[in-house]
Structures are given as C-alpha cells and as structure tokens.
Amino acid sequence: MARYLRWAWDIPCLGPGVRVQRISAEFRSQASSFGFWSALRAFAIRAIQRVIDFKVLRAMCITVVAPGFLELPAGMSADFLDRETLRRMTAQTKYDLTAEFLDDALAKGDECYAVVDGAEPAAYGWYAHSPTRMSDGMLVQFDPAYVYMYKGLTLDAYRGRRLHAIGMTRALAAYRARGFKGLVSYIESDNLNSLKSAYRTGYVDFGRVFIIRMLGRLMTFRTPGCAAFGFGIAPPSRTGDPGRGEAAPPDRWSGPTS
C-alpha cells in the first residue's frame, strides 16, 4: 500500500482527502486480490522504504513439474536459445538484453530458455549455475544442486497467456532430467502480482533475505530456512567476477557500500 501512498504523495495537485480516497481504494483492491495481511505487509515495506533503502526478498524453490504448464500454445515451440539468436535479440530493445549482459551471462555458463512464436522469441528466462549479480551488484548464491532462475521477460503482445510459467516449467523439466533438484529464485515481498503468479506455478517459500542500506553501510540477514538451499546475498567479489563470491552465503553481513 505504501507504493500507492508514495504515488499519491507525489501528486501535489490533489488535496489530502482525494489522496486518502485513492490510497484507500487501491488498498481495498489489493486486499481483495491478495488478502488483507499480504496487502498490509506490502504497505509496511513500502512505508519503510520511504525512510531507508530496504528490501525483503522472498526466497523460493520449485522441484515438481506441473503438467498443466507444459503444453505450448498452438504454433509455438520452446527450447534453450543459441548464441546467434541471443546476439540478434540484443539489437532489439524490446528484449531488454544488452551485449554486455549477454557476454557476462554466457561467460559464466548461464542459459536462456524461451518460448518462441515462429522465429520470434515471445518469452524468456535466464538460468544460472553459479553466483549471479543482482541489479545493484550484490551476489545471489545458492546450492549448485539447484539452478537459479532470473531475468524473466514476456513481450507485451504475448502477456496474459502464461508463457513465462510455461517456459519456466519446461526449463525445470529439462534441468530435472539433467539431474538438478530444481530451481531457486527470489521475489521482493511487496511484489504481490509476481508472488501470486509464482505460487500458482508451484513455487514454495523457504526463507527470507533482508537487505538494508543505511548511513553508508550495507547489511544483509537471512532466515534459517535459506541454509538448506545454500541461498543468500553476499557482497560482490573484489575481482568483479560474479563466480568468485564468498565460499558460502553468510547468515549476516555488514560492510560499507561501494
């Protein structure tokens, strides 16, 4: 709800009464869709974020392939994309893939699984086998028995057809066939739409990671459930190589921001 609070506060032309009405309407809508307590927790997180840089990551895994998400829409196919296809995608802004990102991802062995409509990738997700940078430079670490899923995208023209869920489920089946236990990932706790979609696909929570930046210092904490999956957030390696982070994610870390 604080997301809406911030949105309302940023519209100075509206009077206090109108802002409150809009906030209240948005909150009721979210509570109706996701439940009162989920909406309230999202409000609390966003409220804290107005004061400090604060994130709560919900750590999740999926190990069971849901048959209902294996079937592709007519005329579509799905598979891991080759380098040539990925290079072509970097020339099209709609795919949100830069040449720098692609070079880094491929150099560390990451793979991209996509649902393809004819010759056009319609939805994709990236899958990593080694520590992987978040957008802020921190490293996501995890047990190598699992594969880390990140950076999913569905083109606007294909939204609403559950292509992300289908692609992820088919990628899970492929990795299970290779001997991996399943996929791990995270979603920010106030991203209620993405959480609902993940649970529908079969993801389950196994822990939380808290990230706080305050007074020039960065602190991370993880709940005990993360240890079984080797999951945690660590500071970036000094070498700049995301594959050379700390040997194991710490339960607690504190240090200066870069």
Closest among 220, 231, 214, 224 to 254, alpha carbons compared:
220
Listed in sequence order, the residues at least 6 apart from 23 whose beta carbon sits closer than 8 Å to its beta carbon are: 1, 4, 5, 8
Lowest mean pLDDT among 18-22, 122-126, 183-187, 251-255: 251-255
**DSSP bridge pairs for 157:** none
* HSE toward the beta carbon, residue 222, CA cutoff 13 A: 27
pTM given for the model: 0.79
pLDDT score at 72: 97
Lowest mean pLDDT among 7-11, 16-20, 178-182, 213-217: 7-11
Indicate where the chain has its CATH 3.40.630.30 domain(s). 52-256
Lowest mean pLDDT among 7-11, 174-178, 240-244: 7-11
CATH 1.20.120.450, domain 52-256, yes or no = no
pLDDT score at 137: 79
pLDDT score at 246: 44
pLDDT tens digits for range 94-131: 999 999 999 999 999 999 999 999 999 999 999 999 99
- Amino acid letter at 118? G
CA distance 235 to 48: 23
What is the chain's mean pLDDT, rounded? Answer: 83
Average pLDDT for 203-231: 90
Lowest mean pLDDT among 33-42, 137-146, 205-214, 248-257: 248-257
Element (H, E) at 164: helix 163-178
pLDDT score at 190: 78
Which residue shows structure tokens 């700390």? 246
What ranges make up the beta strands (E) of 31-180?
53-62, 76-80, 111-117, 120-128, 132-133, 139-141, 146-154
pLDDT score at 39: 62
pLDDT score at 194: 87
Closest among 140, 124, 152, 171 to 243, alpha carbons compared:
140
pLDDT tens digits for range 143-195: 999 999 999 999 999 999 999 999 999 999 999 999 999 999 999 987 888 88
> pLDDT tier at 138 (50, 70, 90 boundaries)?
confident
Could you tell me whether strands 53-62 and 182-188 are parallel, antiparallel, or unpaired per DSSP bridges?
antiparallel
Instruction: Give me the phi and psi of 114, to 5 degrees please.
Output: -140, 150
What is residue 151's three-state secondary structure? strand
pLDDT tens digits for range 52-79: 666 889 999 999 999 999 999 999 999 9
Instruction: Give me the phi and psi of 240, to 5 degrees please.
Output: 85, 0
